[in-house]
Each structure stands twice: as C-alpha cells, then as structure tokens.
Amino acid sequence: MKANITETSQKRIVIVGGGFGGLKIARELSNTDYQIVLIDKNNYHQFQPLFYQVATAGLEPSAIAFPFRKIFQKSKNVHIRVAEVSKIVAEQNCIETSIGIINYDQLVIAIGADTNFFGNTQMMENAIPMKSVGEALALRNTILQNYEDALITEDPEQRKGLMNIVVVGGGPTGVEVSGTLAEMKKIVLPKDYPELDFKMMQVHLLEGSSKVLNGMSDAASKKAKIYLEKLGVEVMLNARVKIYDGKNVFMEDGSSIRTDTLVWAAGVTGNKIEGLNPAAIARANRIKVDRYNKVEGYNNIYAIGDIAWMTEEKYPNGHPQVAQVAIQEGDLLAKNLKNQLLGKPLKPFHYKDLGSMATVGRNKAVADLPRIKFQGFFAWLVWMFVHLMSIVGIKNKLIIFINWVWNYVTYDQSLRLIIKPKTRIKK
C-alpha cells in the first residue's frame, strides 16, 4: 500500500523526525522547488530542554509543543504525515511506514535518541525516563499521586518510599529535575499536603562519575553541586546503580535507598530504524555520516542530529548529542540541498559550540559560553532568555513567560493536576 501523497515533478525530500534538526531543515526548505514530506509519530514538535518543567508541574505540555501543521500552514510544498517508519528500502528509494510506502529522491533521517538503560531490563520496567512530553507528564502524575497515597497509608516505611525521589544521572536533565524537586519540597508541597512531614522526603541525585555536569567546566560542575546541596539534594558521586525493583535502589557498593520513584536520566541511544547496512551503524546505534551528513555507503540518504555520528578533529568520538548540533546540521544540509538544485558547490559541516547552560533552581544556574563562564542569578536570566527565544510560536513564548513570572512572584506553580488517560472499553 502506498501512502496518499501527490506525485509532482518536484524532487521529493522525505524527512523522518520533527525534532530540532528535522524541523530546521523542513522550515529552511519550505517554499522551495523541492516537495517536502515530514514524517513524525506525533503531530507536534516538542521542546525537549523544558520537559523537566512539565514533569515538575511548572508548565503544561501544550506550552512546549507546537503543531507541525500550524508551522507549515503557508508552505504548499510541505506535506505532514503522522506515522511510524519501520524500514528503509534503499534499493527502491522508499520507506515502509505505518500508513504505507513512501517514495523519496532524498531521505533525511532525524529520528533522534531515546533513553539508554544499558541492557538493564528491570530498570526499564520500573524507572521513569524523560525523553518525551508523554513521559514527563507520566512523571508528574506519579509524583503527585504518590503524595496522595502517602496521606492515607499508615505504614511509615511505605510513606517514606512514596515521598522519596531518586534521580539517576548528573547531566543537565538530572541536575534540573533534582533542583526543582528540592524547591518544591521546601516551598510548594508542604502547602498542598500540610498533613505530611516533609522532613521525611529526600531527593537523591546519583551520578556514576566524579562530578555532575560532566560535559561542562569544573567551575560549573562544582557550583552546581553546591547549589544542589544548599537546596537539600543529597548528591552521590561515583554512585553506580545495580538494581531497582520498583521499591528499592540497590547500589554496587552494597548500599540501598527506599523509593517508589526513580527518574532515569543516565544516558541515550539512537532510535532504531531497519534497512541500513550494519557497517553504517556506530556506537550507541548512531549512524555514520560524512562531513556533508551523507550516510556512509549511500548517495541520497542523510542523517542529522542525535542519530548522526560525524567526526571532526575536535570531536573524534562524534559531536555531543545536543540541540545546537541538530539545528546547525539541519541548517547546513538545507543550504547544501538548495545548492544542489542550483549546481553550486557544497559546504562541509563544522560544529560551532555556542556553549552549555543548566539551571539548578530559582536564581541559580551555570553557564559555559565560548568566551566567558559564569554562575548565579545572571546565568539564570541568560538561561531563561535563550530558552524562551528558542520556543516555537509567539503564543507559546507568552504562555511560558507568564508562567515563569507568576511562579517567581508567588513562589508557586498552579499546574499540579493528575491527568490520566481514559482507557476506552471496546465493544
């Protein structure tokens, strides 16, 4: 079965994935002489850096998601399809999807990365990842429901497990989630649940290496740890998790932590797609590409963003899996594809590191920019400005800004809703 997409005389570029890279290239190629088909399993773009604020009731999911069809309403050459891609059939220049076969002249793989549990199936079953809006909302539901359950249990050990939260992974996501949860413990949750003793609640951040924010400077790492500990987070370095059974976290050193909630933010692996030569697959399921983002061994298939593995002299093990890499690769690939139409020479990719930032809580952030490193209140303001400007849609920017101002003035979030999907009974 073929998907119902009108065939034209235009060359067709199929983009699989509407994350930062896929969206960037689709926007740059909209209103060109190419026919663009953008495929994603969701009908919206999601802003991953703010998932943690959805998970901690700071923002609603709709504030960080934007419909693809809204973005491309005025682009007649862009076709949106909500589908999952199961296989690439390179010999026939087509892909197999849940809505049928889609042909392409050029294929761009921008499927991003998913949570890496490193083969630990028990962790996969019991831990809560945070790589989508849906998973962030599930974490919010779990945390809030746990406090509702803690109110009614008479077992002190069970109450302890319901109130304690463990975050595994000391990267930006782990640091941001831990800091926000610690602030909720101090300011927000005691007002909602005055019958509970929040001295019982502990937020643990477990990091397997010797420092948090491993990809940032030592100054940023040390300051982030100080901020977290001042907020009351128990930061445990060189702490390696062995098993989590849903009730207890067992460490390799023999210690354990009682918790019903474990947030897994400890690693990513590329999303899988069948059909490519195994020789083109690198470590962590990333796809090998050259400096033009062309997949190794193929003339008309490209990969960008987290899924792409490209080496440069400064990055012999591939680029970091961050939004800026995906955006810059999508931008250059779009320019190169335009140059192909015009018969102009192509430009090789070179990653320009614009810096890294992480927020640790109210008025607290760390920033490593190319020429300056700073921490504290100003870093927090810069972090907010950069993220606000990166959000798609003026309405979304306004909603987020209003939420942030309200939270700052009132020391409160007003979005602590337990929203559960209703299961429809089939007749």
Condensed to tens digits (0 to 9), the pLDDT of residues 254-288 reads: 999 999 999 999 989 999 999 999 999 999 999 99
Q: Which structural domain, as residue segments, surrounds residue 256?
A: 121-266
Condensed to tens digits (0 to 9), the pLDDT of residues 209-261 reads: 999 999 899 999 999 999 999 999 999 999 999 999 999 999 999 999 999 99
203: phi then psi, degrees, rounded to nearest 5: -110, 120
Residue at 136 is within a domain? yes
Residues 183, 282 within the same domain: no
Mean pLDDT of 23-35: 95
Q: Which two tokens stand for residue 199?
A: 């001295």
d(CA 106, CA 94): 10
Residues 235, 111 within the same domain: no
Residues 6+ apart with CB under 8 A from 275: 87, 88, 89, 90, 95
Using the predicted structure, report yes or no on whether residue 298 has a pLDDT greater than 60.
yes
Residue at 417 is within a domain? no
Share of the chain above pLDDT 70, in %: 97
304: phi then psi, degrees, rounded to nearest 5: -135, 160
d(CA 222, CA 205): 14
Output DSSP code: residue 36. Answer: E
How far out from the chain centre does Cα 332 lie?
A: 22
From residue 340, alpha-carbon distances to 234, 240, 398 in Å are 54, 49, 39
d(CA 236, CA 20): 32
Comparing CA positions, the residue from 232, 163, 236 lying closest to residue 201 is: 163
How much is the pLDDT for 154?
A: 93
d(CA 186, CA 178): 13
Residue at 427 is within a domain? no
Number of domains observed in the structure of the chain: 2
How much is the pLDDT for 424?
A: 54
Residue at 411 is within a domain? no
Read off the pLDDT band of 427 (50, 70, 90). very low
Q: Which of 342, 369, 391 is the last residue of a domain?
A: 342
Residues 67, 22 within the same domain: yes
The SS3 call for residue 362 is coil
Output DSSP code: residue 329. Answer: H
Residues 6+ apart with CB under 8 A from 345: 339
CATH value at residue 24: 3.50.50.60
Does the active-site annotation cover 7? no
39: phi then psi, degrees, rounded to nearest 5: -115, 130
Residues 94, 47 within the same domain: yes
DSSP codes of every residue in 157-214:
HHHHHHH-EEEE--SHHHHHHHHHHHHIIIIIHHHH-TTS-TTS--EEEE-SSSSSST
Residue at 110 is within a domain? yes
Residues 6+ apart with CB under 8 A from 30: 36, 72, 75, 77, 78
Q: Which of 319, 342, 365 is the last residue of a domain?
A: 342
Residues 6+ apart with CB under 8 A from 409: none
From residue 259, alpha-carbon distances to 29, 142, 162, 173, 195 in Å are 48, 12, 6, 20, 20
Q: What is the mean pLDDT of the chain?
A: 92
Residues 232, 324 within the same domain: no
Q: Which of 216, 248, 266 is the last residue of a domain?
A: 266
Residue at 259 is within a domain? yes
Residues 317, 248 within the same domain: no
Share of the chain above pLDDT 90, in %: 80
Comparing CA positions, the residue from 303, 334, 419 lying closest to residue 78 is: 334
Label the pairing between strands 44-46 and 65-67.
antiparallel
Residues 248, 295 within the same domain: no
Lowest mean pLDDT among 127-131, 191-195, 300-304, 412-416: 412-416
Q: Of these residues, 28, 135, 176, 329, which one is catalytic?
A: 176
Residue at 349 is within a domain? no
Condensed to tens digits (0 to 9), the pLDDT of residues 113-156 reads: 999 998 888 999 999 998 999 899 999 999 999 999 999 999 99
Residues 131, 258 within the same domain: yes
Residue at 236 is within a domain? yes
Q: How many C-beta atoms surround the C-beta of residue 410 within 10 A?
A: 10
Residues 253, 303 within the same domain: no
Using the predicted structure, report yes or no on whether residue 409 has a pLDDT greater than 80.
no
Residues 82, 127 within the same domain: no
Q: Find tokens 């990653």 and name the residue.
A: 351
How much is the pLDDT for 394?
A: 79
Residues 128, 200 within the same domain: yes
How far out from the chain centre does Cα 189 lie?
A: 26
Residues 49, 98 within the same domain: yes
CATH value at residue 152: 3.50.50.100
Condensed to tens digits (0 to 9), the pLDDT of residues 37-50 reads: 999 999 999 999 99
